Structure 1
């Protein structure tokens, strides 16, 4: 419910999944964080006419869409050394037009490696692979997808993967789960602070506005999603009267490295003449 006089959300009615969908109401709400993607935002705003009327900026965000993501985790029988624990897969024919990433969890979670193996003795690397815009790949069977990674994609990226055998694996599909940063969508994305003073938004697609409140890449970025959560919390602490010393600190991003800044300036200059730089082709 929304109090028109104070411009605040005062209560939330929701279906409790743990109670078989029973409708419940949370009264005397202090604040609300909408940590939602496009799919969730459409559901919440579509189910709350008062919220839609009070926050036209959220209605605008509901016009945006999301893309599918496929997650695959693979346990291997040997360790594979990679230059970096986080890696990108791009322009591989087997991805059917999609893009992907793979993370070496045994490197990232070295102190808790046994937990990756269900408290059993670790046998090798554990690889978390994600495919974005995955609708085409998702039509394949689970075994086909695992084989695509183990026999084609991973060895092509890091030859040391060749010969590794799969000890265990799983594949999960998440339709409409990832923000789609389509051209022209920035102005429609939800703002950090909404028209309602006790409602904020968090997530990688949230506009943190220009200047000191903006942070990092304006596209798909886990770090940006995390920082937006910190900033959303800080906004609410101010709204509720807490002191600055009680807010979560946010580490400013570093300036772009000189070679990147130089390449970016050249790209903009060439773009003014309708020329696409070779490194963007």
Structure 2
């Protein structure tokens, strides 16, 4: 109950033509001060859309409380506009079908201090293991990737428990970019100084 959640808007658009999307998964920011989003090339990711004559895109918006009340046609227009900002070819394409799913408080709100409240994959039942956003993993992934990775980890626990099958190989997360590593070291150093000079009971 100490873990928060945010609203999600999942929008799927079918376009009338093929559009070259360089990457199958694209995280976006800077379009809104409160909402982040990711769009996916479903032609590349889903077998069912691989042979579609047009382009099928999924756009998922996180912390989408201000978008959920909008009408479907307003949402479709907004998503196409933002897609065209990333890939100009979307501007001339026509949306021939669409779907907008509103999910209130559906995704974990990862925030500083939330890690301590995450749940272990191993439960008090010998043959029950857990996976998902709210499960601890040392892998370093999060969001959709975390759900997938913890699913593999849970499957590996099942294999270990029953001694049958081959464990999944989980690919490590790539190393942080240099500026992220530097920022993390500065943060750790600052925190260590703070603990040295300020009593613990003054810290939040």
> How many aligned residue pairs are there?
190
The aligned residue for residue 75 of structure 2 is 145
8 Å contact kept, 1:65–1:180 = yes
Structure 1 residues without counterparts, runs of 5 or longer: 1-61, 117-121, 209-213, 275-281
Residue 168 of structure 1 corresponds to 97
Cross-structure match for 1:242 = 163
SS at match of 2:136: coil
Could you tell me how far apart the structure 2 residues matched to 1:103 and 1:252 are? 21
Q: Structure 2: how far apart are the matches of 1:206 and 1:250?
A: 19
- Which residue number corresponds to residue 228 of structure 1? 150
Q: Distance in 2 between matches of 1:153 and 1:255?
A: 28
Give the alignment's TM-score, normalised by structure 1.
0.61
- For residues 107 and 227 of structure 1, the distance between their equivalents in structure 2, rounded to whole angstroms, comes to 20
| Structure 2 counterpart of 1:128 | 58
Q: How far did 1:128 drift?
A: 0.7
- Asked if 1 retains the 8 angstrom alpha-carbon contact of 2:139 and 2:173, the reply is no
What 5-or-longer segments of structure 2 have no aligned partner? 192-204
C-alpha separation in 2, matches of 1:227 and 1:268: 24
The answer on whether the counterparts of 2:159 and 2:167 sit within 8 Å (CA) in structure 1 is: no
> Rg bigger for which structure?
1
Q: Partner of 1:200: helix, strand, or coil?
A: coil
Partner of 1:39: none
| Deviation at residue 69 of structure 1 after TM alignment | 0.9
Conserved? CA contact 2:131–2:154, under 8 Å: yes
> What CA RMSD, in Å, does the superposition of the two structures yield over aligned residues?
2.4
TM-score, normalised to structure 2, is 0.81
Task: Report the counterpart of residue 73 of structure 1 in structure 2.
Answer: 12
Which whole-Å CA distance do the structure 2 matches of 1:157 and 1:136 have between them?
22
Q: CA deviation at 1:254?
A: 5.5
Which residue is equivalent to 1:53?
Answer: none
Change over 3 Å in CA distance of 1:90–1:255 after alignment to 2: closer
**Deviant stretches of 4+, over 6 Å:** none
**Per the alignment, in what secondary structure is the counterpart of residue 170 of structure 1?**
strand
- Once the 2 structures are TM-superposed, how far is the Cα of residue 273 of structure 1 from its aligned partner? 5.0
